[in-house]
């Protein structure tokens, strides 16, 4: 092995350790009991695999007043994420399809304006969105939060699909039009079947964004409808008695597991989709 | 009844007129080729016939129906695209039957059509493959199969051969011709390749700058070009344009030709009334390479003159000899056995009976 290789792998190993260390600390801490945590150091391995903290975080830990663990909030998040991801992805695909294959007067301007949406920070839209949700009568509900995520995500999903479809030859659409297919038929039978890579990108991106979102969750939902990120915050900040680091860590890992899972399952499509169209062929 | 009538069709993008009043009519079963340099508007015109682009002005009539503002699917046409535009997610057989499926033809009938078309184009073994797994020539066939399956009244071809390599292009070209002769289909075909135009067409429309420069059979256009652009565009190697002085002689007109330092008087043995007003002035002589050859006895009407040979390019059956005539490079088609080396003078025979003349200013044909 040449010196170059050793250097490269050395740097890579350091970087990997740097990123993995916090996860390692979280995992081993979550498997210890409080006694072990107090007596050992952060990196001392647990004496046995002890899942009591996980059980507690899932079903009995206190998040504020109620003490039913994270499980209810986990399903809240699922109920928010699944429809929000699906709807924003489908709408993004439709937008991208229209913006590349059914251009209209001002469609480039429309796309330009939509791009601004990707640059608007969450905080800016908090108040106007609160008014809007109130006006629509869905403030504080799961539907309200779903709507916010769909709208906020549209700019990104549209950007993804538009950039993907721009490299799909328009002759395909023309051929289908001559074959007698209409707008929806072409979308459904020609465009969607060739969109797998970008669908995966959009789903991963939106899933991560929405699952990890805290700000919208804390502002636009309340009580039993809160997503897991908000519940995690409440769990960690509930200060009665001893600070249970092992439960906090287990809860944090539970909250992060779904995104981790999605990346492990679909990660290779993610890279493939992001680079698709960058190199032709 | 005409198969296709294009009446005063115009197309503008904003203030820019890309088609300026096109008029074309063809009979059923005719093979029309729209040919011209890139940017002449030929593909735009084809897309307008297909209904993929809107018509700014004028009318398009297919058969007895005015289709100017109809959807592509209602025009009874099929189109073969330059990139073939095969649906990548479908097999060959699904590609061919897609249009039938949308028209809600029952599956068993679809299968009959697919089988017939596949047999005609010899693509039966490929029916279950995806386009990705096909070669260029096979994709081309499938694209044609998709058009044939629809059995339309007009076929539109948009530069279908330009993505193929040279050998395959020639093969597919003759297959298209054979198919046309066998099926008696009406075809509108766009190309920038004048050889395709000459070999395939019943009628050619030569286009430039959004106008039809000339409309006629390939031979008419080759022999009787309306202007210098058409004369130069059709034919390969292209026609030579030699500026020369015209004077009156006892038998008609004479051209002053200079090559290798010698001036020769070339007699024009054609009756062209228009030439009268150019006496004493300059005209452009249009002469094709095959009209300047080695000296032989069997062409009594021809003139012979010594020429300065500059380049010799053998092609096999003929050798292209470039000479300098009145200061202009001129290509001649000479038999390989009669050839001399570059730099030497060579006697060449001019067949002026088919030569054409153009006005040096307007570039229009002098008749």
pLDDT tens digits, one per residue of B319-328: 999 999 998 9
Tell me: pLDDT of A280 over 60.
no
Residue B102 sits in the same domain as residue B220 = yes
Phi, psi of A137 (to 5 degrees): 75, 25
Residue B39 sits in the same domain as residue B70 = yes
Q: Do B99 and A179 touch (CB under 8 A)?
A: yes
Tell me: pLDDT of B182 over 70.
yes
- For residue B295, tell me if it sits in a domain: yes
A67 touches chain B (CB under 8 A): no
Mean pLDDT over residues A234-244, rounded? 80
Q: Is A117 exposed, middle or buried (0-12, 13-18, 19+ CB in 10 A)?
A: middle
- For residue B185, tell me if it sits in a domain: yes
- For residue B338, tell me if it sits in a domain: yes
- For residue B202, tell me if it sits in a domain: yes
Mutate to test the interface with B, among A164, A177, A179 (most CBs of B within 10 A): A179
Q: Do A179 and B150 touch (CB under 8 A)?
A: yes
A223 touches chain B (CB under 8 A): no
In chain A, whose CA is at the least distance from the CA of B70?
A178
Residue B226, domain extent: 4-233
Q: Do A185 and B102 touch (CB under 8 A)?
A: yes
Q: Pick from B194, B215, B233: which residue ends a domain?
A: B233
Mean pLDDT over residues A213-222, rounded? 89
pLDDT tens digits, one per residue of A39-80: 888 888 888 888 888 998 898 888 877 888 888 899 999 999
- Distance to chain A for B101, nearest Cα, Å: 9
Q: Do A175 and B77 touch (CB under 8 A)?
A: no
Residue B107 sits in the same domain as residue B218 = yes
Phi, psi of A254 (to 5 degrees): -55, -45
Share of chain B above pLDDT 90, in %: 66
Residue B173 sits in the same domain as residue B295 = no
- For residue B363, tell me if it sits in a domain: no
Query: pTM surpassing 0.80?
Result: yes
Closest CB to A193: pick one of B52, B73, B89.
B89
Q: Which residue has the higher pLDDT, B298 or A106?
A: A106
Q: Pick from B202, B233, B264: which residue ends a domain?
A: B233
pLDDT tens digits, one per residue of A100-150: 999 999 999 999 998 888 888 888 889 999 999 999 998 888 899 999 999
Mean pLDDT over residues B334-349, rounded? 85
pLDDT band at A208 (very low <50, low <70, confident <90, very high): very high
- For residue B271, tell me if it sits in a domain: yes
Structure confidence at residue A164 (pLDDT): 92
In chain A, whose CA is at the least distance from the CA of B155?
A178
Mutate to test the interface with A, among B99, B147, B162 (most CBs of A within 10 A): B99
CATH assignment at residue B251: 2.40.50.140
Phi, psi of A106 (to 5 degrees): 85, 10
Q: Pick from B233, B265, B296: which residue ends a domain?
A: B233
- What is the length of chain B? 367
pLDDT band at A279 (very low <50, low <70, confident <90, very high): very low
Spatial CA neighbour of B260 closest among B295, B309, B328, B294: B309
Closest CB to A174: pick one of B52, B99, B102.
B52
Structure confidence at residue B300 (pLDDT): 65
Mean pLDDT over residues A21-47, rounded? 87
Tell me: pLDDT of A201 over 70.
yes
Mean pLDDT over residues B200-226, rounded? 94
Structure confidence at residue A24 (pLDDT): 92
Residue B168 sits in the same domain as residue B37 = yes
Taking residue B83's Cβ as centre, other Cβ atoms within 10 Å add up to: 17
Residue B77 sits in the same domain as residue B225 = yes
Residue B175 sits in the same domain as residue B297 = no
Residue B124 sits in the same domain as residue B82 = yes
Q: Do B52 and A190 touch (CB under 8 A)?
A: no
Residue B259 sits in the same domain as residue B163 = no
- Distance to chain A for B96, nearest Cα, Å: 10
| Structural domains of chain A in order of their starting residue, each with its CATH number | 3-50 (no CATH), 71-275 (1.10.3720.10)
CA distances from A71 to A26, A210, A214, B86 (A): 19, 18, 17, 50
Q: Do B99 and A180 touch (CB under 8 A)?
A: yes
Q: Which residue has the higher pLDDT, B268 or B198?
A: B198
Structure confidence at residue B299 (pLDDT): 67
Taking residue B336's Cβ as centre, other Cβ atoms within 10 Å add up to: 13
In chain B, whose CA is at the least distance from the CA of A194?
B89
Mutate to test the interface with B, among A102, A167, A178 (most CBs of B within 10 A): A178
pLDDT tens digits, one per residue of B94-141: 999 999 999 999 999 999 999 999 998 889 999 999 999 999 889 999
Least confident of A18-27, A233-242, B211-220: A233-242
- Distance to chain A for B163, nearest Cα, Å: 14
Kindly list the strands in the beta sheet with B65-66, ordered across the sheet, starting from the edge strand earlier in the chain.
B16-26, B4-13, B57-62, B65-66
A104 touches chain B (CB under 8 A): no
3 state DSSP class of B272 = coil
Specify the number of domains making up chain B. 2
Say what the alpha-carbon torsion angle A53, A57, A59, A65 is, to the nearest 10 degrees. 130
Say what the alpha-carbon torsion angle B318, B320, B323, B327 is, to the nearest 10 degrees. 140
Mutate to test the interface with B, among A175, A181, A193, A195 (most CBs of B within 10 A): A175
- Distance to chain A for B233, nearest Cα, Å: 28
CATH assignment at residue B192: 3.40.50.300
Q: Do B103 and A193 touch (CB under 8 A)?
A: no
Residue B159 sits in the same domain as residue B220 = yes
Q: How many Cα atoms sit within 13 Å of A228 on the Cβ side?
A: 27
Q: Which residue has the higher pLDDT, A69 or A188?
A: A188
What crossing angle do the helices spanning A196-212 and A228-237 adopt, rounded to 10°?
30
Q: Are B263 and B327 spatial neighbours (Cβ–Cβ below 8 Å)?
A: no
Structure confidence at residue B301 (pLDDT): 65
Structure confidence at residue A255 (pLDDT): 93
ipTM of the complex in this document: 0.84
- For residue B365, tell me if it sits in a domain: no
Residue B180 sits in the same domain as residue B274 = no
Q: What mean pLDDT, rounded, does chain B reach?
A: 91
Residue B55 sits in the same domain as residue B98 = yes
Residues of B in contact with A181 (CB under 8 A): 73, 98, 102
């Amino acid at each position: 092995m040449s010196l170059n290789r050793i250097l490269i792998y050395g740097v890579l190993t350091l970087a990997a350790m740097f990123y993995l260390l916090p996860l390692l600390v979280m995992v081993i801490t979550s498997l210890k009991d409080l006694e072990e945590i107090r007596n050992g150091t952060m990196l001392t391995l647990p004496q046995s695999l002890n899942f009591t903290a996980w059980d507690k975080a899932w079903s009995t830990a206190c998040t504020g007043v109620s003490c039913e663990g994270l499980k209810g909030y986990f399903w809240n998040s699922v109920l928010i994420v699944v429809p929000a991801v699906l709807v924003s992805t489908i709408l993004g695909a439709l937008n991208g399809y229209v913006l590349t294959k059914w251009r209209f007067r001002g469609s480039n301007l429309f796309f330009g304006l939509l791009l601004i949406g990707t640059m608007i920070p969450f905080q800016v839209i908090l108040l106007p969105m609160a008014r809007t949700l109130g006006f629509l009568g869905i403030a504080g509900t799961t539907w309200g939060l779903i709507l916010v995520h769909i709208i906020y995500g549209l700019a990104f999903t549209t950007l993804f699909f538009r950039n993907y479809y721009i490299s799909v030859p328009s002759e395909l659409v023309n051929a289908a039009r001559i074959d007698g297919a209409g707008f929806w038929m072409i979308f459904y039978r020609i465009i969607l079947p060739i969109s797998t890579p970008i669908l995966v990108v959009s789903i991963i991106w939106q899933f991560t964004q929405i699952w990890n979102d805290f700000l919208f969750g804390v502002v636009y939902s309340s009580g039993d409808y809160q997503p897991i990120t908000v519940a995690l915050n409440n769990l960690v900040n509930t200060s009665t008695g001893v600070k249970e680091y092992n439960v906090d860590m287990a809860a944090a890992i539970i909250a992060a597991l779904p995104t981790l899972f999605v990346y492990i399952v679909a990660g290779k499509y993610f890279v493939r989709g992001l680079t698709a169209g960058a190199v032709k062929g | 009844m005409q198969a296709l009538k294009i009446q005063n069709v115009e197309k503008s993008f904003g203030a820019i007129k890309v088609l300026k009043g096109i008029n074309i009519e063809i009979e059923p079963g005719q093979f029309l080729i729209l040919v011209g340099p890139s940017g002449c508007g030929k593909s735009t015109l084809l897309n307008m016939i297909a209904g993929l682009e809107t018509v700014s002005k004028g009318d398009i009539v297919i058969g007895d129906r005015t289709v100017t503002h109809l959807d592509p699917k209602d025009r009874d046409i099929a189109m073969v695209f330059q990139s073939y535009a095969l649906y990548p997610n479908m097999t060959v057989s699904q590609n061919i039957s897609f249009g039938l499926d949308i028209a809600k033809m029952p599956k068993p009938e679809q299968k009959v059509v697919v089988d017939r078309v596949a047999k005609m184009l010899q693509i039966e073994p490929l029916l279950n493959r995806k386009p990705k797994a096909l070669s260029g020539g096979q994709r081309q066939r499938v694209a044609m199969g998709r058009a044939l399956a629809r059995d339309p009244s007009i076929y539109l071809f948009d530069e279908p051969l330009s993505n193929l390599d040279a050998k395959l292009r020639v093969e597919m070209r003759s297959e298209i011709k054979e198919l046309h002769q066998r099926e008696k289909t009406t075809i509108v075909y766009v190309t920038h390749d004048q050889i395709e135009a000459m070999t395939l067409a019943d009628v050619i429309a030569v286009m430039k700058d959004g106008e039809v420069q000339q409309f006629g059979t390939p031979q008419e256009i080759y022999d009787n070009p309306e202007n210098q652009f058409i004369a130069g565009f059709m034919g390969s190697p292209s026609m030579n344009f030699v500026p020369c002085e015209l004077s009156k002689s006892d038998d008609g007109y004479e051209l002053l030709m200079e090559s290798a330092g010698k001036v020769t008087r070339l007699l024009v043995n054609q009756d062209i009334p228009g030439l009268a007003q150019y006496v004493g002035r300059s005209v452009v002589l249009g002469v094709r390479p095959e009209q300047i050859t080695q000296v032989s006895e069997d062409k009594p009407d021809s003139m012979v003159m010594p020429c300065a040979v500059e380049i010799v390019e053998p092609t096999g059956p003929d050798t292209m000899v470039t000479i300098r005539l009145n200061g202009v490079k001129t290509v001649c088609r000479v038999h390989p056995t009669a050839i001399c080396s570059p730099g030497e003078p060579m006697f060449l025979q001019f067949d002026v009976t088919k030569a054409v003349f153009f006005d040096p200013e307007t570039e229009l044909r002098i008749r």
